[in-house]
């Protein structure tokens, strides 16, 4: 497999190691590779990963994604998978989708681009352009995971035991998706906590400022009435 990616933002890098450890812990037997990332995309940009078919027999690409900015609209976000040679779209996320899963069959020696887009649209033949949808100019954060399972051309499922093994593999993959979604929820919770703590901090400073102003105004009023009464007494 070949993997090409841009550097993660500083805000996302702290979660990368944790997600990778979890993803490695949930790899089903026979799977070729498994990886998970949290990526922040600036407005009108995209980040693509080149994924190759594992060997001459081909394989299957599995994955999921989760949008982590609940306070921002998911309108500009899209996830697409494009064949690098024929340049046709193999998968496109639904409009305004905040999460989703994908499964793509890979032909022998086939390579695909897994692209995360913020304000970019991919049309036919891989042509990309700026989306006409409304955009607020803000960056978006996505968590995603993908795995590539190598196809064994010499193995066919004939016995009940083989069917049971396949069911176990599918269940393990589904549990892996659930683990990643829970991890994305923790990332989302951390982002919300930062916003709440910042709001409370600003509110506390406003309370302190209001208290200082009230004390200052009260002191000024006391001095004014004191001087006024002293002048009345002298008169």
**pTM of the predicted protein model:** 0.58
User: Has residue 5 been placed in a domain?
Assistant: no
Residue 151 belongs to domain spanning: 10-190
Residue 206 falls inside a structural domain? no
Residues 105-116: tens digit of each pLDDT:
998 889 999 999
Q: Residue 206 pLDDT > 70, yes or no?
A: yes
Q: Is residue 9 predicted with pLDDT exceeding 60?
A: no
- C-alpha 187/C-alpha 192 separation (Å) is 9
pLDDT of residue 169: 79
> Is 197 part of any domain?
no
What domain count does the chain have? Answer: 1
Say if residue 99's pLDDT is above 70.
yes
- pLDDT higher than 70, residue 29: no
User: Is 220 domain-assigned?
Assistant: no
Question: Is residue 77 in a domain?
Answer: yes
Instruction: Look over the chain and give the mean of its residue pLDDT values, rounded to a whole number.
Output: 78
pLDDT tens readout for residues 149-163 = 887 666 544 566 777
Least confident piece of the model among 48-52, 99-103, 195-199: 195-199
Q: Is residue 184 part of a domain?
A: yes
Query: Among 135-149, 163-177, 206-220, whose mean pLDDT is lowest?
Result: 163-177
Give a yes or no: residue 131 inside a domain.
yes
pLDDT at 168 over 60: yes
CATH number at residue 123: 2.60.120.510
- Please report whether residue 53 resides in a domain: yes
pLDDT tens-digit series, residues 55-97:
777 889 999 999 999 888 999 999 999 999 888 899 999 988 9
């Amino acid at each position: 497999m070949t993997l090409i990616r841009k550097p993660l933002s500083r805000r996302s890098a702290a979660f990368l190691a944790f997600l990778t450890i979890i993803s490695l812990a949930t790899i089903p037997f026979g799977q070729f590779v498994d990886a998970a990332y949290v990526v922040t995309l600036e407005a009108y940009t995209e980040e693509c990963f080149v994924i190759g078919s594992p060997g001459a027999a081909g394989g299957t690409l599995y994955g999921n994604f989760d949008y982590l900015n609940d306070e921002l609209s998911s309108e500009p976000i899209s996830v697409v998978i494009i064949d690098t040679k024929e340049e046709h779209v193999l998968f496109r996320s639904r409009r305004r989708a905040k999460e989703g899963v994908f499964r793509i069959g890979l032909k022998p020696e086939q390579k695909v681009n897994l692209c995360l887009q913020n304000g970019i649209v991919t049309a036919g033949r891989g042509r990309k352009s700026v989306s006409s949808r409304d955009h607020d100019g803000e960056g978006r954060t996505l968590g995603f995971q993908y795995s590539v399972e190598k196809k064994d051309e010499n193995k066919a499922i004939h016995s009940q035991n083989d069917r049971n093994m396949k069911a176990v593999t599918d269940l393990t993959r589904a549990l892996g998706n659930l683990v990643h979604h829970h991890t994305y929820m923790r990332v989302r919770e951390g982002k919300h906590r930062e916003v709440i703590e910042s709001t409370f901090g600003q509110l506390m400073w406003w309370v302190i400022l209001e208290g200082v102003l009230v004390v200052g105004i009260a002191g000024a009023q006391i001095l004014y009435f004191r001087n006024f009464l002293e002048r009345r007494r002298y008169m």
